[in-house]
Structure 1
């Protein structure tokens, strides 16, 4: 992942002419401007969300004016913030967190600098498997029909404030009623509302929550109902780790038809003692 981020910075920021280094490579004699990339602590996150890593990016410029630091820092943020990229078969998403401290002058390296902190999420939840009848797919199709501008496919999306991402995730499932024909299940499904602006995320959290409260039920692919028992929202919940909308649902799964083994051979004996067999 570190190598992938380095290459992204090399390709996006021409002013440094490829001078993007790990901390042990750069030094006082390194030509300026240059960038130092530091990989921090890896957070295991929830089981479904793989992990996230804190990455610090430090732009170094000559000791003239901090406006040069501003320009290089802005270029780095523009290159990385909300960026989605793939590396070694894994998908990642980058979020800018802010600076690691105030501007300062590194007297040892004779340079002005500022630390920029990014969180790189490993998008493990994008590879979830499903099967029919699927309540998550039902909610995804309802979302696409209700708000065509929203992105719902994690394989192709690029959430923005104009076209936010809405991702539905099955959290838990529990059988609550068993009958001869149907097994009724109750589950929790969370919606992750992804957009760069917190104000836009709040707007869509309310919009989705109120629409679910009005909708009350949907029809699944097998014709059965997907009932909405309750819906709650927390606009301060982490959109990547938890999801801001929590929906409690109830739906039924038909019992599988019994499978019987076919007879391959039949032996018959009549009342008068005649015997015979039939084979297939």
Structure 2
């Protein structure tokens, strides 16, 4: 992963002399340069895929605050919601910028001013292996009403901005009677955009469309639908890892029971 991050930065931030692993630069290493430090894996229970913290430290000559500001902007633009590939493994990733790390540091011995940038890196799946029909139906409905690329299950290598992800976060069933049961699911919807106004507009469109539709098609030929029970949102949630909209859906299914069924009743006499 780190090799992919370093390559992505060097390909897009041309003023950097190089981008290193930790402990590689020396006090006389030509500046400006970057250092990539890999953090810990996410401890969340509901990430869409592998996620890890990452720090990028930018070293510039003392007194070159303008240079440091420009390098920070270019580094963020090179990684934030961009797709990149690790040249050693062939795996693809994207990242989100989470802010700077503390205050700028001045290293008198190394004659450098240093700024840390905090990112989250998410792995992108190579192929679509999800066969979940609820996720598929929800993604197709959202893509049709919003015109935004929609994924199901997990983020893919063809990750686009803006885009939407639909994934199941919980399932439950309850018996109605001898021949039928109710299936309930919560579908989490992620809306990704690098523009807050666009992200909010897409969220509004999705929510309004779901509320007005009441139900979305699961299988049109068999006239099977998913009924919308409730919609909740948290626009401040992590758009890549957690998602902003939670939709509760339900449908009634028949229970296939084995055994011999009575087809005819024969009798004589009367019942008074």
Following superposition, the deviation at residue 180 of structure 1 comes to 6.3
Whether 1:233 aligns to 2:225 is no
- The correspondence for 1:157, drawn from 156, 159, 171, is 159
Q: Equivalent residue for 2:185?
A: 187
Following superposition, the deviation at residue 26 of structure 1 comes to 0.5
Whether 1:32 aligns to 2:31 is yes
Q: Equivalent residue for 2:6?
A: 6
2:76 and 2:215 map into 1 onto residues whose CA distance is: 43
Whether 1:176 aligns to 2:177 is no
5+ residue gaps, structure 2, are 259-272
SS in 2 for 1:100: strand
* 2:46–2:241 Cα contact (<8 Å) kept: no
CA-to-partner distance for each residue in 1:116-163, whole Å, 9 max, x for gaps? 1111123569855224xx122111111122122x1113432311xxxx
Q: Where in structure 2 are the equivalents of 1:53-92 lying within 5 Å?
A: 53-87=52-86, 88=89, 90-92=91-93
Following superposition, the deviation at residue 241 of structure 1 comes to 3.0
Structure with higher Rg: it is 1
5+ residue gaps, structure 1, are 259-280
2:45 and 2:25 map into 1 onto residues whose CA distance is: 36
Whether 1:219 aligns to 2:217 is yes
* 1:184–1:252 Cα contact (<8 Å) kept: yes
* 1:34–1:61 Cα contact (<8 Å) kept: yes
1:60 and 1:197 map into 2 onto residues whose CA distance is: 29
1:125 and 1:226 map into 2 onto residues whose CA distance is: 29
RMSD, aligned α-carbons: 2.7
Following superposition, the deviation at residue 205 of structure 1 comes to 2.2
1:12 and 1:242 map into 2 onto residues whose CA distance is: 29
2:127 and 2:183 map into 1 onto residues whose CA distance is: 24
Worse overlay, 81-90 or 204-213: 81-90
- Closer, same or farther in 2 for the Cα pair 1:76/1:137, shift >3 Å? same
SS in 2 for 1:103: strand
1:186 and 1:125 map into 2 onto residues whose CA distance is: 30
- Closer, same or farther in 2 for the Cα pair 1:144/1:51, shift >3 Å? closer
- The correspondence for 1:197, drawn from 195, 220, 223, is 195
CA-to-partner distance for each residue in 1:34-59, whole Å, 9 max, x for gaps? 11111223223225533422222122
| TM-score normalised by structure 1 residue count | 0.79
1:128 and 1:251 map into 2 onto residues whose CA distance is: 24
* 2:83–2:159 Cα contact (<8 Å) kept: no
Following superposition, the deviation at residue 248 of structure 1 comes to 1.1
SS in 2 for 1:24: coil
Following superposition, the deviation at residue 107 of structure 1 comes to 0.9
1:237 and 1:48 map into 2 onto residues whose CA distance is: 12
1:128 and 1:234 map into 2 onto residues whose CA distance is: 28
* 2:174–2:183 Cα contact (<8 Å) kept: yes
Q: Equivalent residue for 2:122?
A: 121
- Of structures 1 and 2, the one with the larger relative CO (CA 8 A, separation 6+) is 2
* 2:163–2:191 Cα contact (<8 Å) kept: yes
* 1:49–1:124 Cα contact (<8 Å) kept: no
